[in-house]
Copies of this chain bind each other. A is one copy, B any other.
Amino acid sequence: MSGLLAHTEYITITTKARYAILDITDRVEELREKAVLGDGFILVSTMHITSSIFVNDRESGLYQDIMAWLEDLAPRRTDYKHHLTGEDNADAHLKRMLLGHQVLVPVTTGALDLGPWERVHYGEFDGCRPKRILMKAIGVKA
C-alpha cells in the first residue's frame, strides 16, 4: 500500500469527416508514461455528447461495419424532436450511447493491461470541429 497518484490531461481531436473512428491507444500510453503510473486505471472519457470512447479491434473493415451498423440502429434523420432546438445531430447523441462514452484502461506493472487485440478508440459522429477527451490516471507510481 502506498500514496495515491492522480494526473489529468486533455487531448483535442478535430476530424476531417463528420463520422470517424480513430485508434487513440498510443495517446493513453503517453499519458501513462507522463504520469509514471505503475498500477491503477486511466479513465478515458469524451467530454462531448456526440462522440464515443470504446475498445475494439483496430481493423478498417470492422470500422466500416461499425459505422454501417450504427447508421442502421440510429439513423441520421431530420425528424428528431431534438432538432426543434436548431440542432441536426440527434443521431450522434444516440450513436454515442451504443458504443459508450468512457473506458477504464487498467495499468499493471507499469504497462497498459490490455488483451492482444484490445485497442482504445475514439468514435466521432458530429465532427469537423475540435472535441476534447479527458484522460485521468489514478493509482500508484511505477
Contacts and interface: CB of A to CB of B under 8 A. Distances in A.
Q: How many copies of the chain does the oligomer comprise?
A: 3
A49 interface: yes
Interface of A is mostly: mixed
Interface size grouping (class) on chain A: 35 or more
B40 A49 contact: no
A21 interface: no
Contacts of A97: 54, 56, 66, 98-100
Given A41-B43, A56-B93, A74-B69, A106 B134 contact: yes
Contacts of A114: 47
Interface string A36-77: 000111010111110000111101111011100100011000
